[in-house]
């Protein structure tokens, strides 16, 4: 999905570094007024490459290869997957054979990934650059299919947008059996307590993504739907609010590496090391929305990106994106 304005994300037919073109292109109604005003001071001085090459750190210290924003060994998420892959397949939210064939064709279907899909993965999930796209797809299926009031009564069903079926997060999910809307908020893989649901509601409204101006509470693209699924999974396993914010920032950082490497450089210039930032603040509209990140990015002289953003589908014949690639609204 292109980072244009702050509008809802209809399915696009754009090729992604992770996914083959989406078969269905939906011309959904465009959303206005979703962006939240950025409170950053526009008079802030631009952070140049030379200024960042000061003792104690350079711009390169915030590259993927240095592991500050994206730890080289990955990040252990505070959840286990269990047999959710089996449950998603049994419900038809994932066509297991086609999903496996997709990754086998790429040569990216490790024993660990196979176990997440077909087995019982009881250990904590480790997120890495290599499996970030795979986990995005699993979380996407979970967020789409698990019943939740956010999907049943939130922005997704606002009649102004022509129904939930018109978004990239719904029509773009091509790995279900049958129509993806046959699975939209239809299954109960776990049931949240009222307190857990309140927590998901609160945090989902505070997490933005740089491909648009919408929060996770409006999961109109795959990243939003995947984050919703991840939040539900964490809440269902009793993860604390603080740890949910931390894990959500780690996940967003692996899905949008250029974004958070740039934000880290900006914060360093302000005298704040990445390890000392507030995850909740970084995930908010002032930093992580399309408009917020644009203002941050304009104040940081960044090296040229290796490639552009990606689309909003799930199937691809191409390999995993190179390190430091901006993922846009693809996987």
Q: What is the pLDDT of residues 32-60, one digit of tens each?
A: 333 333 333 333 333 332 333 333 334 44
Q: Is residue 32 part of a domain?
A: no
Full 3-state SS string of 295-317: HHHCCECCCCCCCCCECCCCCCC
- Report if residue 249 sits inside a domain: yes
| Structural domain range at position 142 | 49-297
What is the C-alpha separation between 176 and 88, in angstroms, rounded? 9
Q: Which pLDDT belongs to residue 315?
A: 56
Is residue 174 in a domain? yes
Question: Using one digit for the tens of pLDDT, what is the confidence trace for 166-203?
Answer: 999 999 999 999 999 999 999 999 999 999 999 999 99
pLDDT reported for residue 62: 63
pLDDT score at 65: 62
For residue 5, being part of any structural domain is answered with: no
Q: Which tokens is 278 given?
A: 């507030």
Residue 97 lies inside a defined structural domain of this protein: yes
Cβ contacts of 99-103, under 8 Å, gap ≥ 24: 99/137, 99/175, 102/175, 102/314, 102/315, 102/316, 103/134
- For 35, list phi and psi in degrees, rounded to 5: -70, 145
Task: Please say if the pLDDT value at position 241 is more than 90.
Answer: yes
Q: Is the dihedral of CA 158, 186, 80, 322 positive or negative?
A: negative
Tell me what pLDDT residue 64 has.
Answer: 63
Mean pLDDT of 106-129: 96
Domain membership flag for residue 2:
no
Give 93's pLDDT tier (boundaries 50, 70, 90). very high
Which among 17, 64, 77, 28 is positioned nearest to 315, based on CA atoms?
Answer: 17
pLDDT of residue 301: 74
**For residue 206, is it within any domain?**
yes
- Residue 5's pLDDT band (cuts 50, 70, 90): very low
- CB contact set of 208 (below 8 Å; sequence gap of 6+): 36, 214, 215, 216, 283, 284, 285, 287, 288, 289, 292
**Average pLDDT score, the chain:** 80
CB atoms within 10 A of CB 120: 13
Whether residue 329 lies inside any domain: the answer is: no
102 neighbors 313 (Cβ within 8 angstroms): no
Answer whether 234's CB lies under 8 Å from 244's CB.
yes
Total number of domains constituting the chain? 1
């Amino acid at each position: 999905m292109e980072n244009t304005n702050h509008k809802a994300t209809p399915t696009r037919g754009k090729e992604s570094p992770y996914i083959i073109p989406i078969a269905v292109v939906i011309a959904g109604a465009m959303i206005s007024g979703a962006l939240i005003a950025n409170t950053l001071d526009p008079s802030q001085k631009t952070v140049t490459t030379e200024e960042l090459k000061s003792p104690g750190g350079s711009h390169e210290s915030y590259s993927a290869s240095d592991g500050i924003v994206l730890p080289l060994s990955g990040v252990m998420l505070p959840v286990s997957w269990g047999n959710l892959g089996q449950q998603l397949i049994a419900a038809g939210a994932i066509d297991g054979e086609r999903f496996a064939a997709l990754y086998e064709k790429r040569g990216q279907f490790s024993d660990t990934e196979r176990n997440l899909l077909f087995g019982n993965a009881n250990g904590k999930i480790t997120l890495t650059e290599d499996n970030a796209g795979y986990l995005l797809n699993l979380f996407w299926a979970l967020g789409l299919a698990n019943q939740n009031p956010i999907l049943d009564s939130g922005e997704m069903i606002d009649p102004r947008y022509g129904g939930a079926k018109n978004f990239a997060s719904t029509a773009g999910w091509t790995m279900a059996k049958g129509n993806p809307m046959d699975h939209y908020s239809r299954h109960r893989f776990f049931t949240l307590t009222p307190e857990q649901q309140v927590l998901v509601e609160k945090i989902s409204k505070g997490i933005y993504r740089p491909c648009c101006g919408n929060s996770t509470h409006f999961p109109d693209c795959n990243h939003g739907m995947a984050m919703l699924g991840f939040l539900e999974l964490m809440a269902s396993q009793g993860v604390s609010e603080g740890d949910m914010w931390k894990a959500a920032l780690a996940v967003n950082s692996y899905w949008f590496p250029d974004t958070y490497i740039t934000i880290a450089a900006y914060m360093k210039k302000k005298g704040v090391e990445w390890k000392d930032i507030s995850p909740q603040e970084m995930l908010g509209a002032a930093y992580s929305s399309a408009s917020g990140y644009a203002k941050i990015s304009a104040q940081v002289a960044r090296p040229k990106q290796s490639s552009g953003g990606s689309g909003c589908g799930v199937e691809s014949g191409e390999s995993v994106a190179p390190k430091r690639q901006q993922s846009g609204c693809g996987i």
